[in-house]
Amino acid sequence: MCTTVSKKKPAPHFIRNMITADVNAGKNQGQVVTRFPPEPNGYLHIGHAKSICLNFQIAGEFDGRCHLRFDDTNPEKEDTEYTDSIQEDVRWLGFDWGEHLHHAADYFDTLYNYACQLIKDSKAYICELTPEQMREYRGTLKAPGKNSPYRERPIEDSLDIFTRMKAGEFEDGTYVLRAKIDMSSPNINMRDPIIYRIRHAEHHRTGNDWCIYPTYDYTHCISDALEGITHSLCTLEFEDHRPLYDWVLNNIDIDCHPQQIEFSRLALNFTVTSKRKLNQLVQEDFVDSWNDPRMPTVSGMRRRGYPATAIRDFCNRIGITKKYNNISLGLLETCVREAIDPEARRVMAVLKPLKVVITNYPEGESEQLDCPYHPDKDIDLGSRSVPFGRELYIEQDDFMENAPSKFFRLSEGREVRLRYAYYITCNEVIKNDAGEVIELRCTYDPETKGGWAKDGRKVKGTLHWVSAADALDVEVRVYDRLFKVPHPDADKEVSFLEHLNPDSLQICDNAKLEPSLASAKIDERYQFERLGYFCLDTDSSTDKPVFNRTVSLRDSWAKIEKELG
């Protein structure tokens, strides 16, 4: 079930303005074609979601199309596990690339032919400097580079070596193909960048067909042009690569020349959005998997219960700019709450149970209380029957011995309301040999059915509870932020792993739920009263059902208290 959070048209931003101007001016015959170009070397994260929303939404607004293209030029790091998950995630986010699923690997022949043409036009040459020499010749930001001694290698020689590189005659690293641009350019990317290297590696798509692979910069612009992309939207780190993007397209024989436009990456506090770091968290077992609900991955957020509408709403709210921006995780959580709240049924769950025996409730009897699923009069989610009987569970934290007067929950001699049920008073506390409280003996007032006293007497506390005889046994996983500092990867001297939050997962393996949750379904979210929003976990290996906390509550209990007086 999905609720559209924001029906508003997304706010204008500089990219939308530029594209609108292009369309109005009739550029590209008024067409808009964008693409989302992930490298399949990891799962998608919230940063990618920003790029996906931008590319697909903007194409949609102008009746254009958006391609999904795998920029798969790095055989060692890529895998079909990733291409599969990426497609699933983009679809789940609500976007459709139609027939436009592409792979840079499908262009390897074309890319090779263009490279041969560049050599023939004396715009590329085979270089055999070692990586160390290459670095030395490249120069620095302040000093220009030096021409490679191989720069003027005869065209025929370069062509011959390139052909033999492709045929597999040489070891990795012996030769590279470089574009012949300008070793004194202030932009290091233009100092004769490598466009092909030898890699004897199996590719997840082309197998062992190739042992030379084109570089990202060379591949990306040509792939865009081959697909007729009009606007190539990417993140700011590619700004300095734009001259190279344009150089390649200006120096090969191709009709299309997409416009590259850069915007700032999304950085979210209390988390990391780098596939390399996320991969490290998985590989080194700091989290269970890429879709661990603590991960900022699309699959992690999905498993945690974040609706796709909330993620889209978040991406629209943060907007698109060229400024570095670090966004608060709280904003994402707000979007999640706003999306979930109207659809989440309110139910009762006890995470850390403490038994309560109602001594004046008749033994062997029980009753059904009709409880609405949502407190808001304007939101009709119906109601359910909640059993009430002599033995109940309440939250351990809702009882305190020798409680201070400000403790508005249960204590010996005090009266509280059980939500939707009755007022109860605690008369006796039972402890085990270790002195721990294991049971409370209470009495209830039958004249307070529904949680209201006919004589108008008030109580300060309202507790949630579950009938012991009917409770479902489940495991509840309460997630918190994965990192304990706002900028875990800010300090280059200290590993981001040092900042992991040791309490990011709290497992309640003896939780009790009201029986209506026996029919809980994946993709439905619930509010466990006073505890937060929860959903059923998708892939659990435990015997009991597992519920994940999607997001904590905010002030909602305060509101209920106020309503009840």
- Catalytic positions, written as ranges: 39, 265, 275
Q: Is 443 left (phi over 0), alpha (psi -120 to 50) or beta?
A: beta
CA distance 211 to 205: 13
**DSSP assignments along 496-511, one per residue:** GGGGB-TTSEEEEEEE
Cα 324 versus chain centre, distance: 19
Q: Number of residues interacting with ligand ATP: please give it, by CB under 6 A.
A: 14
Cβ pair 266, 235 in contact under 8 A:
no
- Of 65, 66, 40, the C-alpha closest to 51 is 66
The stretch near ligand ATP (CB under 6 A) out of 36-44, 149-157, 286-294, 322-330 is: 36-44
Summary count for the chain: helices (H), strands (E): 13, 27
> Could you give the string, one character per residue 254-273, with x where binding to ligand ATP holds by CB under 6 A and - elsewhere?
-----------xx------x
Min separation Cβ 38 and ligand ATP, Å: 4
The stretch near ligand ATP (CB under 6 A) out of 33-41, 138-146, 158-166, 316-324 is: 33-41
221 binds ligand ATP (CB under 6 A): no
Secondary element (H or E) of residue 232? strand 231-235
Among 6, 20, 39, 557, binds ligand ATP (CB under 6 A): 39
Among 6, 185, 189, 235, binds ligand ATP (CB under 6 A): 235
Min separation Cβ 288 and ligand ATP, Å: 20
Among 65, 275, 464, 530, binds ligand ATP (CB under 6 A): 275
Pull the structure tokens for residue 40.
Answer: 């399949």
Q: For the segment 157-176, give every residue that binds ligand ATP (CB under 6 A).
A: none
Q: For the segment 41-100, give every residue that binds ligand ATP (CB under 6 A).
A: 47-48, 50-51
Cβ pair 312, 4 in contact under 8 A:
no
Among 33, 34, 38, 525, binds ligand ATP (CB under 6 A): 38
Question: C-alpha angle 21/25/27, rounded to 5°?
Answer: 95
Min separation Cβ 319 and ligand ATP, Å: 12
Q: Which is nearer to ligand ATP, 37 or 532 (CB)?
A: 37
Min separation Cβ 233 and ligand ATP, Å: 7
66's CB contacts (< 8 A; 6+ apart) are 33, 34, 35, 36, 55, 56, 58, 59, 60, 95, 97, 100
CA atoms within 13 A on the CB side of 492: 0
37 binds ligand ATP (CB under 6 A): yes
318 binds ligand ATP (CB under 6 A): no
312 binds ligand ATP (CB under 6 A): no
Q: For the segment 466-495, give every residue that binds ligand ATP (CB under 6 A).
A: none
Q: Which is nearer to ligand ATP, 44 or 418 (CB)?
A: 44
274 binds ligand ATP (CB under 6 A): yes
Q: Which is nearer to ligand ATP, 273 or 527 (CB)?
A: 273
The stretch near ligand ATP (CB under 6 A) out of 35-43, 156-164, 187-195, 319-327 is: 35-43
Q: Which is nearer to ligand ATP, 15 or 159 (CB)?
A: 15
Cβ pair 293, 479 in contact under 8 A:
yes
260's CB contacts (< 8 A; 6+ apart) are 221, 232, 233, 234, 238, 242, 245, 246
CA distance 283 to 277: 10
The stretch near ligand ATP (CB under 6 A) out of 34-42, 56-64, 283-291, 418-426 is: 34-42
Q: For the segment 91-150, give every residue that binds ligand ATP (CB under 6 A).
A: none
The stretch near ligand ATP (CB under 6 A) out of 8-16, 31-39, 125-133, 467-475 is: 31-39
234 binds ligand ATP (CB under 6 A): yes
Give me the residue whose beta carbon is nearest to ligand ATP.
Answer: 47
Q: Which is nearer to ligand ATP, 114 or 238 (CB)?
A: 238
28 binds ligand ATP (CB under 6 A): no
Cβ pair 22, 28 in contact under 8 A:
yes
Cβ pair 50, 318 in contact under 8 A:
yes
Cβ pair 364, 439 in contact under 8 A:
no
Question: C-alpha angle 229/234/236, rounded to 5°?
Answer: 150
What are the residues binding ligand ATP (CB under 6 A)? 37-39, 47-48, 50-51, 234-235, 265-266, 273-275
